[in-house]
Each structure stands twice: as structure tokens, then as C-alpha cells.
Amino acid sequence: MLDVCLLGTGGMMPLSYRWLTSLMMRYNGTSILIDCGEGTQIAMAKKGWSPKPIDIICFTHFHADHISGIVGMLLCMGNADRTEPVTMIGPRGLERVINSMRIIAPELPFELNFIEITELEQEFDFGDFRIRAFRANHNIMCYGYSLEIDRTGKFDVERAKALNIPVNMWGRLQNGEEIEYEGRYLTPDMVLGPDRKGIKLTYCTDSRPTDMIVKNAADSDLFICEGMYGEPGMEKKARENKHMTFYEAADMAKRANVKELWLTHYSPSLNYPKEYENAAREIFPNTHTCKDGRTKEINFEE
Amino acid sequence: MLDVCLLGTGGMMPLSYRWLTSLMMRYNGTSILIDCGEGTQIAMAKKGWSPKPIDIICFTHFHADHISGIVGMLLCMGNADRTEPVTMIGPRGLERVINSMRIIAPELPFELNFIEITELEQEFDFGDFRIRAFRANHNIMCYGYSLEIDRTGKFDVERAKALNIPVNMWGRLQNGEEIEYEGRYLTPDMVLGPDRKGIKLTYCTDSRPTDMIVKNAADSDLFICEGMYGEPGMEKKARENKHMTFYEAADMAKRANVKELWLTHYSPSLNYPKEYENAAREIFPNTHTCKDGRTKEINFEE
């Protein structure tokens, strides 16, 4: 099960009633954060999710509304007694930017490992899951991210029995281990059916719509995408500021054949995103405008 | 009239129900901010005070809970169309620290002027008012600040008439101007009585109690002082962490002969500061524990 929380839904600046856009995910004891603007640690505390298990922090880009809260977040993780290293993923320059900001927090009780994205599309393997970064189209270097959790095939008890594999090895094979046993070489494919559908989530802000986003969001269970503007007539402004409208996001969701679309990163001038939800649903029916703290559990299909 | 708002009252980290300690003052069209931790711009928006007229920002020290919100604040001032320069006052290293943090906001529509404090006590004149920095005793270089607004003597109409000073010069003399007129040299002291009591506010966090603080807070209309701990038995922890208890702050208020004491910068573990208010009042009766957004207008005495 992947536990997802959109901690904030604002763009540009935090408002008294709307935190800046940030996504937190929990899977199998690991937490992953995407973006961390001013106040994200408070939004997280409000939600009641712990900062301690955050193993990975991804940054879309270095505009302040996506990164200005990182120093407070790191200190907050330190206060929560984290000692394990934290991995940060982001555009080129990440290490320099973070270290420059850390002038007010030079000492932390854990190490930081930096992964700077160098390709247009790049995949990072974390064992249980993979994170894929893909280039967006904003006015500075910016990336979207897909998180994918694979699921192996179903364990075939009859085959395992027929092959005389001892029961105490079933679990190890199911977990992907290869075993040498009494001269035999046992591999998972001997007892597992074909791979089953995993879980896929895609997150993209800030960007104009692009084919690259559509391609990377393909077949996602959840697509979280910026919808800076919902009001009619904002297409020109969206183009100029390298952002997108609800309708451009909904069109990408449709083309990418995702299951569900969450809109976020609202302009401070957009007080009631829900007003324009139905208009976006005419393009992609399962579109949702979001409030801070929106949560969803994504389970493997039965 | 000096308009004072304690935007936040927390220490160490922002909580979901308590902003970090920051003081905003408005006087005669100018706003002054002391400290700016993560979320201060949101606390300000909640209060409804504008970031645009902030001409001066003072920093007590460079711990993150006192400065981590400055980049967001500067961007917020830019969004409010500020173009006039902003003066920053703080410990040595101020310019380097701010510029390092500004890696995510390199361009602003206004200039920054930096004043780094080099003495144990140092006064800065801003025309209508003076800001005096004085060294505190924390685990890094830290300063408290006094703001003083002078008040000239009462205009003596009878004397002005007796001296045959034309009525159209009264206002200029009252405002401190010296005038040459028909061979005479007119000075304010010819028509003004003795200086009257002005307004004085003193702000100090984070520090152990010191004589330097008492001396600089002397006779303040309002003394805003850290009270990190209120619970009994926290004296040792206060000494170790270079902070102070409610009772140490109240004792300084008494010795400094201030009119009113506000406690702030509460430890995240201190949920209900008001519980210990009466105990502090036994030392200094006009002590107040504060909630975020506490406001007061300080007027010249009639």
C-alpha cells in the first residue's frame, strides 16, 4: 500500500489558508517527500505524519516556493532523532543550493546524499520502488517524478510442490531470492506467475504541458499535476508564466490514460479551485481539485 | 503612536498552533520587523499587516528559528510591489548569511542595505526613532534591541507670541527646524518646553539574563523577553541551553523598572504558558504570557 498525502496545494507563496504544494508518500517504512516550500514542516505536523522516516526528498526545481522550507525540515528531522542518511534528488546544482541555504543549519545529525539529475529522463532504483525523473518545461530547469512499485507474480503452490521445493524456501523465492540447495539452483521464476500490475504515481509541477509528461504519466494510478489557473481566459498567462491551466492538465491526464487526476499549485488569486472542477471534468472525468492534506491509499489490485 | 504586534511566540520550531517568535512594529508609515523564522510571512498575512512598508529588519542572531523565513518574506515584499531599499541590521556576518540564503531568490525589485553590529552596544538613528542594539548572552553571537521614539517639549504659544514669531513658522519650529527670518535666528528651544517622555520598547531573545539587558531595557513601556520555560525545575536546562525561565525574565523586568512585560519564545514542550503566568507575576505583577498576534498600541503619555 502506498499512502499519499498532498500536504499543500498553493503556488508562488504560502497563504494563511493554503500551504505550498508538497507531496508526501509512505511505503513500507520509507517516506518520500517531493518539494518543500516554506511551512511544509508545519503542514506535515498538522497532518500528523512523522518527518523522521523521510529517506528521500525530491525537488522539482529551485524556485523558493518549492524549496524554501528545506532547512526547517532538515532541522525538524534532526529534532525527531533521525540519524540515517537522507537522499536528495534534484536538478543540477542541488548540492550547491542546499549547502548554500544550510548556512543557518550547518550541523545535522545525519548525512545528506545528493543525486543530481543529468539526463532528460533518468531512473533511480531504491529496491522496493523506482523513482523516475523527467524534464518539464518551466522557466528554469524543472523535473517531474514518477514513483513505481513493482509487484511480482502470484506464488504457485502447485508448481512449488511439483518441483519438490521445500516449504521453508518458498518465502525467500517469493521475495526474489535465488537459492542454491542440494546441487539445485532455485530461481523465483520457477514458482511465480507472470508479474502483476504494480502501483504508479506521477507528480508534475511547474510546467507547460508536454508529450514528455504524458509519456511518463502513462497509466498512472494517480497523476498529481499543477493547475495554476482555472478561470476562463487564462491560457495566455499560463503560456507566458510557463504554467498550465486545469484544462491543459486534464487533457494530459486523458492522453496519458491515468486513473485519477489531482490538481494542485493554485495561483494565490484562485480562491475556490472547486468552482472550475466540473469544467475540467468535461475533459477528464476523474479530475479532483484538492485541499491541503488530501490523502489517498493506493493498493495493489486484487 | 507605536503599533506593536508579536506575530509569533514559539521557539526552536514552528508548531501547527504557534508561529515562530517575530515582532512587527508600525510607526509613522514605517514598519520594522525583528526576526523572521519560517512562516513569519504567513503569520503577518493572518494578522492582516502589510509587508510592503517594512523598511527595517533586525535579526537577533542566525539560528534558523529566527531567520529561516527571510527569503520568503523578501519575495513577499517584492510581490507587494515594494521598490524602496530595505535596511537589515544584525550580527557580524549578516550580509554573507543573507546572500547565501538568497541563492533561491537572487533577484529582488529592491535593494538591501546591511548594517552589521560591531560594538557591544550600538545605536542607529532613523530620524523619527532610534534603534539600539545590545549584546545578549546566547550560545552564538546574539543581540537585543531597543526602539526609542523621542518626543519634543510642548509648544508654548504665549512665548511664541511674546517673541513675535509669525504663526506660519510655529509648525516648522515645532518639527525641529531652525529658521533664519528677517535677520533673526529662530530655534525650536525658543518656543518648546522641556523634552517630554517618549516611547521605548525593548526586545530580547535568546539569552541568559544579564545586566546589559536590564540596563538597556530600563524604563521601557514594553519589554518583550524570552520565557523559554515556565515549568518549575527548568533553571538548569535554561542555563545549559543559554535560555531563560519566566522567572528570570520577570526579575529583569522588575530590575529594569519597565511598565509591562510580555513573555515569548516558548519551548515546543510548553503547551500552556498561561499556567505559569501568575507565578511570574509574583515577581513582576504586569507580566503577560502571549498568544500569536498579540497587539498593543503604545501612545505618548497625555
Contact check, Cβ <8 Å, A13/B75:
yes
Distance (Å, whole) CA B264 – CA A273:
37
Q: How confident is the model at residue A127, as a pLDDT?
A: 87
pLDDT tens-digit series, residues A236-257: 999 999 999 999 999 999 999 9
**Which residues face A5 on adjacent strands?**
A24, A295
Question: B residues 155-214 near A, CB within 8 Å?
Answer: none
Instruction: Report pTM.
Output: 0.92
Inter-chain CB proximity A16 and B68 less than 8 Å: no
Average pLDDT of chain B is: 96
Which residues on chain A are in Cβ contact (under 8 Å) with B38? 38-39, 41-42, 69, 71-72
Long-range contact pairs involving A123-129 (C-beta distance under 8 Å, separation at least 24): A124/A89, A126/A30, A126/A55, A126/A56, A128/A27, A128/A28, A128/A30, A129/A27
Of A20, A42, A67, which to mutate for an interface test with B (greatest number of B Cβ within 10 Å)?
A42
ipTM score of the complex? Answer: 0.91
| pLDDT surpasses 80 at B302 | no
Quick one: pLDDT at residue B182?
87
Nearest chain B CA: its distance from A71 CA (Å): 7
CB B41 to CB A14 under 8 A?
Answer: yes
Please state the rounded mean pLDDT for residues A156-168.
Answer: 91
Contact check, Cβ <8 Å, A39/B14? yes
| pLDDT (mean) for A127-133 | 94
Mean per-residue pLDDT, B35-44: 98
Given the residues B3, B35, B65, B128, the one annotated as active site = B65
> Helix, strand, coil % (nearest 5) of chain B?
25, 30, 40
- Using CA atoms, how far residue A8 sits from A230, B89, B160, in Å, is 17, 33, 64
Interface membership of B42 toward A (CB under 8 Å): yes
The answer to whether A38 contacts B69, with C-beta atoms less than 8 Å apart, is yes
What size, in residues, is chain B?
302
What is the rounded CA–CA span in Å between residue B1 and residue B26? Answer: 9
Per-residue confidence at A4, pLDDT binned at 50, 70, 90?
very high
Q: Which residues of A touch B100 (CB under 8 A)?
A: 100-101, 103
Chain A, window 79-138: residues with a beta carbon less than 8 angstroms from a chain B beta carbon:
79, 96-97, 100-101, 103-105
**Pairwise CB contact (< 8 Å): B45 & A75:** no
Residues of B in contact with A63 (CB under 8 A): 104
Q: What is the pLDDT of residue B127?
A: 87
* Known catalytic membership, residue A219: no
Q: Is the pLDDT of residue A152 over 80?
A: yes
**A46 near B CB under 8 A:** yes
Edge-to-edge strand ranges of the sheet holding B129-135: B121-125, B129-135, B143-151, B196-204, B222-226, B261-264, B287-289
Residue B195: the pLDDT is: 85
CB contact, 8 Å: A73 with chain B?
A: no
The yes-or-no verdict on residue B260 having pLDDT over 90 is yes
Query: Residue A56: pLDDT band by 50, 70, 90 thresholds?
Result: very high
For chain A, give the mean pLDDT.
Answer: 96
The predicted pLDDT at position B144 comes to 98
